Structure 1
Amino acid sequence: MEPRESYTGTLSYIAICLSMLCGGTTSLFATYGSSFSEVLGFTQYETNLVASLGDYAHYMSAPLFGYLSTRIGPTRVIQSAAVLMFCGYMGLSYSFKHFDTAYEHAHHYVATMAMLFALVGVGSKAAYMSSMATTARNFKHSRHSGIALGIPNSLYGLSTFVFSSLKARWFESDQTPYRYLAFMAFVSLAAHLLASKYVVLRETQAAPRKRATSLAIKTNAPLSPAVATSGSVMSPLHESFEMAETRKRRMTVSVANEAGHADGDVAANSTLPALPVDSTAIDSRSATHADQPYNGHGSGADTPPLSAATMSPLSVAVAANPAQPREESALARLSRDPIAWALLMGIICLSGPGLAFVNNCGSMVRAMSHNTSLTEEQIGQYKDKIVATQSFFSFFARLVVGYLSDLWRTRLRLPRSGLLVIAGLLMVYAQNTAARVSRLEDMYPLAVLIGTAMGSTFTLAPTITAETWGAENFGLCWGVITLGPAVGGHICNLIFGSSWDQGLFNIISRLGKDAPQDRMQCTNECFIPAFRTTAKISYFSVFFFTVVLCLPQATAVWKRRWQKQTK
């Protein structure tokens, strides 16, 4: 690699890391989520509805931005992220500053706040998908693809830690979060516009040569000396023949796999016999054949019979293969792959319980602080520390697991999905721990467990996606699979909100309407039933990740036995 190209690649990677660091701020909702009830008078169900709709917008937009990152490049997508996040955060800031009249009016502005938070979520996902898709393609031939994806991914998890720490230092004394949200708007805009200036998608060395050859074929012009002498490129017609042969081999493999017959199975690295072509005739391009008239009937004395010596190599290949089926699209292959469905379901069942804690840990801290002597400012600082702890261990897990998964794969020759099963077991333990929380001090180990499980999963899953369905299809395939957290997060957030409101209703019914207002507060009994339910959901993640681990090996064993029986 030339020094200038190496410098450009390094600068692009740094720009990707900056975009990811300032893009993963949707989890900051926990640091100001309680303000929806304190300032705007939302119920917990309405607050969780805002969080769920934001998560839906965040994850549902993933396939779109994955496709756009491949289609138009990462620069414009990151610029779109800058605009979307700026508009979302500025809108939220304006709302908290001017919509603080919830107790005087019945309207709670739920739809407005949900739409504004959705803009933040969509912008965050745009930055994430463009950065991850670019990294996957730039490092698709590297042995260290796991750590290459893990570093920006870990910074995406560290984002919440960084900005929650800044909030605790500079904005904790504010009564409403409007100044903090305005700060986030300008930081997001500046960081993503700066990143978009330097991020580039590196091309393989063969790509410029293929474009030059294709142009020479269309214009019937000679190749430039630099292109003609590079690699195995001899002439445009030879290049056409090579492309036709490569396409024929790839399609034959696809057809044989679809047919499922033993005699039709073609190995991925097998080659078909080359078509006989007279290179002398190709280069000379027989003038006799070029000057022959056509009688309008396709045969006769005026039209000599065509042979391989008088046809161009591409015509020979087409004549030998008159009707070749089209290659199946990446989305079609993904939708028919049971491994993809198992991975999607596993992420739904793991991320849903995890997001229920991430979005509501601030409310949990407030619920368990009523029987303490902490001031409002100390409660806010405690809440920010819990969010920062979860974010830091998510960052740490993404970084370490990315490196360990490379060793796991290259040194031990084990599938990365085995580590997914371990992450699922960790989430099961975390959810059962959450169902037994009774003190504020119990929140720290819970934040560590959930941060580690979530960080590990969202490092391993994209790497597995790139390896299984190809780095060139990563944007679309990973975009589809990341729909899982939207579904899981919405379900578990609504479970938490319903449990919270039901618990508060039970407390009010037990104390009576004449009880003091300070006693009508939720305690841990408002959220423990929710975590008992989400713990059961997390068990299914272990099952589905086990399917992802075992299904390829089981399929390979079944195919070998089937081939032996048919011989």
Structure 2
Amino acid sequence: MASSPAPPPALISVPRITTLIASLLVSLSSGTNYVSFSCWIAYAPQLGAKLGISHTQLNIVALAGNVGVYSSGPIWGRIVDSRGPRILLAGAFLSLLIGYSGIRYLYDRGLPPNTSTLSILGFCVLVASSYLTGSGGNAGLVSAVNSTAKTFPDQARASTTGLVISGFGLSAFFFSSISHLLFAGNTSAFLLVLALGTSFPMIMGFFFVRPIPLPEQEGYEILAHRPRSLSRGAAMAEDTLPNVYGKKLWQSGDFWLLFSILSMLSGTGLMYINNVGSMSQALYAYKNPNYNEVEASGWQATQVSAISLMNFLGRIFIGLVSDLAKNKYDMPRSYSLVLVSFFFFISQVVAANEDRIENLWVASTLLGLAHGSVFSLFPTVCLEWFGMPHFSENWGYLSLSPMAGGNLFSIFFGRNLDKHDVTKTPPMVKVARVAAPQCLLGLECYVDTLYLTAGATFLSMLLSIWAGYRDRRKIAASREKKEFSRRGGVPWEYNEERRDD
């Protein structure tokens, strides 16, 4: 007689805690070229100087890393949903090791004699290496988040996944701090630390990051007798989860609603993060005849630190808030979208009215909190609205949205800055003497872009209110249908004409 399978471990147990800790360590090794970009700052100038590549080419290399993060999401998501996390962790190990080793090899080799610029082939290798670091880091994150979401129940899911994602936000700050403390001035050694320090934790994750089955009452099954997929909040009200993916996902108004909100919010965050150095420099240089490069770099580092640390805290904060709101006050997690949108809006309003470099950290702190919160909250909302079976694939498609908003707002920022470069500075304005062309008009250099992003984030706030209203309405309808079925009716015959928008 065959023995019955062992029951799943308790919710607070060694296997679940092991998965959580291992997932956090993997996440901490996965975000070195994303979010705060402080790792890139730590070696990009030296890389450009030694290889003779321009600022434009450096931006292309940095963009390749970001594209690696975004474009690989749907692919890694589909694999982890169907095959588990081990393939992703193996891919992350190879991608990160090869990517950072390739960058280090090109840096150590330098330029051949009698040449002043990197060859086209060498530049292509550099771009490909940067892409691998982004793709590999995203593979590590996807495996960690997917395993954590499947390991913990709904009551603690936002908090635990938020904790894991927080490691991704802290990754660049962690490794750049190591660079400043232990390898100041030694770019080759720092690149070696990145190659080994980001890849080898994936081996540990290969053995310890895995989803732990939940007790049966968690209700992950999609009831076989249902003739159609349940919506979002509606499914949660009936103690199950939906299963929306593929063509149905792309035809879903809910998907495009979340896509639009995330595109505007994350696009605002990426624009600010990628250009806060220029903002800081413009404010510091305005009417400052004693311009000092070292002091200017210090103000830039202040913004990076503020954004990175608050990014980390924001990912934990929103998980705790959304779990508390759902568990204690029966509020859908989609309600927290309004709070996150409000943080973004306030950060842009503050930045648009701050003309002193000493106070820019306030806007940077708010932006970091908002940006961290948005990438912690949206995966959980995605899971609730579209289901667990294809969660990572769906989140991969949804996370393509920052490419739209981020590129649009960043291009607008660049053009706005170009209109106010140093050659167009009015002669009566007293400015610092600097060698490189740049805008020296302070807040005027970029404030028009902040007006645009403030408008976009305000629109996101309105759309978030609409998303929460839709969620609440569908949950109420689902509970009515559930009550109807308890009285002896057939669930799917109740109000059948009411379908999702």
Distance 1:499 1:111, change over 3 A: farther
Structure 1 94/438 Cα, relative in aligned 2: closer, same or farther at 3 Å?
farther
Deviation per CA, 1:440-461: give whole Å up to 9, x if none: 3233112211111111111211
1:398 CA drift (Å): 1.4
Q: 1:100 to 1:345 in 2, by over 3 A?
A: farther
Counterpart residue number, 1:354:
269
**CA positional deviation for 1:103:** 10
Give the alignment of 1:182-193 within 5 angstroms.
182-193=192-203
Q: Distance in 1 between matches of 2:496 and 2:17?
A: 50
1:66 Cα deviation after fit: 1.0
Q: Which runs of 5+ in 2 are unaligned?
A: 1-7, 481-493
Pick closer, same or farther for the CA change 1:17–1:509 going to 2, 3 Å.
same
Partner of residue 402, structure 1: 319
TM-score by length of 1: 0.70
Q: Does 1:74 align with 2:82?
A: no
Matches within 5 A, 1:439-450: 439-450=356-367
Residue identity over aligned pairs, in percent, reads 25
Shift of 1:352: 0.6
2:95 corresponds, among 77, 84, 107, to: 84
Measured after TM superposition, the shift of residue 70 of structure 1 is 1.8
1:122 Cα deviation from its structure 2 partner: 0.9
- Decide which of 476, 485, 488 is 2:393's aligned counterpart: 476
393-402 or 520-529: which moved more? 520-529
1:118 matched to 2:131: yes
The aligned residue for residue 204 of structure 2 is 194
What root-mean-square deviation, in Å, do the aligned CA atoms of Structure 1 and Structure 2 show? 4.0
For residue 411 of structure 1, give the secondary structure of its aligned residue in structure 2.
helix
Secondary structure of the 2:435 match is: helix
2:30 to 23, 36, 39: 23
Structure 1 distance, partners of 2:166, 2:138, is: 15
Q: Work out whether 1:535 is the aligned partner of 2:465.
A: no
1:36-51 matches, within 5 Å, as: 46-51=57-62
> In 2 relative to 1, CA 430–95 (structure 1 residues): closer, same or farther, beyond 3 Å?
farther
Q: Deviations over 1:52-96 (max 9, x none)?
A: 343222112111111111222112211211221222223333444
In the aligned structure 1, how far is the partner of 2:200 from the partner of 2:236? 50
Change in 2 beyond 3 A, CA 1:411/1:86: same
> After the TM superposition, which residues 462-501 of structure 1 pair with which residues of structure 2 at under 5 Å, given as runs?
462-501=379-418
Alignment partners' CA distance in 2, 1:541 and 1:19: 32
- The answer for the alignment partner of 2:254 in structure 1 is 339
Q: Could you tell me which residue of structure 2 aligns to residue 13 of structure 1?
A: 20
What is the CA distance between 1:98 and its match in structure 2? 4.8
Return the letter of the residue paired with 1:396.
L
Aligned equivalents of 1:62 and 1:536: distance in 2?
A: 29
Task: Name the counterpart of 2:467.
Answer: 548
Aligned-partner residue type, residue 164 of structure 1: S
- Residue from 183, 191, 202 that aligns with 1:181: 191
| TM-superposition CA deviations, 1:130-185 (whole Å, max 9, x none) | 1111111112x3421111211111222122332232233234445xx444233211
| CA spacing shift, 1:342–1:329, aligned 2, 3 Å | closer
Q: Are residues 1:387 and 2:395 paired? A: no
Other-structure match for 1:62: 73
CA distance in 2, matches of 1:267, 1:85: 38
Once the two structures are TM-superposed, the CA of residue 4 in structure 1 deviates from its matched residue by 13
Counterpart-to-counterpart distance in 1, 2:59 and 2:316 = 30
Q: Distance between the aligned counterparts of 1:103 and 1:442, measured in 2?
A: 45
Say whether the 8 Å CA contact 2:19–2:147 is kept in structure 1: no
Distance 1:388 1:172 in 2: 17
SS in 2 for 1:26: coil
Gaps of at least 5 residues in structure 1 are 207-242, 259-265, 271-326
Larger Rg: 1
